[in-house]
Amino acid sequence: MSIDLEPDEVQVAIADTIARFCDRRFAAKDGASGPPPFDATLWRDLAELGVLAAGTPEGVGGPAEVAVAMEALGARLFPGPLAATVLATQLLGPDERGAVCAGHAIATVGGPELFPHGAAASVFLAFEGDAVIRVRPTGSVCPVPALDGEPWGRAAVETVERFPDATAAIALYRVALAALLLGAGDGLLRAAAAYAATRKQFGQPIGNFQAVAHPLADCRIRIDAARLLVASAAERVHDGAPDASRESAIAHFSARRAATDTAHACHQVFGAVGITREGPAFGFSRRIIGLAAWPAGPGSAPAALAGPGSDAREART
What is the layout of strands, in order, in the sheet containing 114-116? 114-116, 152-154, 142-144
Express each pLDDT in 1-15 by its tens digit: 556 667 788 889 999
Cα torsion angle, 139, 141, 142, 144, sign: positive
Q: What does the mean pLDDT of the chain come to?
A: 88
**d(C-alpha 35, C-alpha 26), whole Å:** 10
Residue 313 lies in a domain: no
- State the total domains in the chain: 2
pLDDT at position 146, please? 80
What are φ and ψ of residue 213, in 5° steps?
A: -65, -40
Regarding whether 266 and 151 lie in a shared domain, the answer is no
> For 62-66, 163-167, 168-172, 311-315, which range has the lowest pLDDT when averaged over its residues?
311-315
Identify whether residues 130 and 187 lie together within a single domain. no
CA dihedral angle for residue 178, residue 180, residue 185, residue 190, rounded to 10 degrees = 130
Residue 308's pLDDT band (boundaries 50, 70, 90)?
A: low
Which is higher by pLDDT, 291 or 2? 291
Q: Would you say residue 2 lies in a domain? A: no
Distances (CA, A) of 111 to 108, 157, 176, 205, 291: 10, 9, 19, 47, 15
Distance CA 254, CA 291 (A): 13
Instruction: Give 162-190 pLDDT, tens digit per residue.
Output: 998 899 999 999 999 999 999 999 999 99
CA–CA separation, 251 vs 233, rounded Å?
Answer: 7
Read off the CATH number of the domain in which 200 is found.
Answer: 1.20.140.10
- Does 198 share its domain with 223? yes
Domain shared by 56 and 127, yes or no: yes
- Residue 1: inside a domain, yes or no? no
Q: In angstroms, rounded to a whole number, what is the distance separating the alpha carbons of residues 66 and 172?
A: 8
In a domain, residue 283? The reply is yes
What average pLDDT does the segment 231-260 reach? 95
- Please give the Cα distance from 278 to 275 (Å, whole number): 9
Residue-wise pLDDT for 83-126, tens only, equals: 999 999 999 999 999 999 999 999 999 988 999 999 889 999 99
Last residue of a domain, one of 148, 167, 186: 167
pLDDT of residue 34: 53
Q: How confident is the model over 276-295, as a mean pLDDT?
A: 86
For residue 295, is the peptide bond before it cis, meaning its omega torsion is within 30 degrees of 0?
A: no
Q: Do 135 and 194 have their domain in common?
A: no
Q: Is the pLDDT of residue 31 over 70?
A: no
Are 118 and 153 contacting, i.e. CB atoms less than 8 angstroms apart?
yes
Report the pLDDT value the prediction gives residue 32, as an integer from 0 to 100.
52
pLDDT at 33: 52
Answer yes or no: is pLDDT of 209 > 50: yes
User: 152-154 and 200-201: which strand pairing?
Assistant: unpaired
Residue 317 lies in a domain: no
In the chain, the amino acid numbered 257 is R
Asked whether residue 316 carries a pLDDT value surpassing 50, the answer given is no
Range of the domain at 136: 9-167
Q: Where residue 133 sits, what CATH number does that domain have?
A: 1.10.540.10
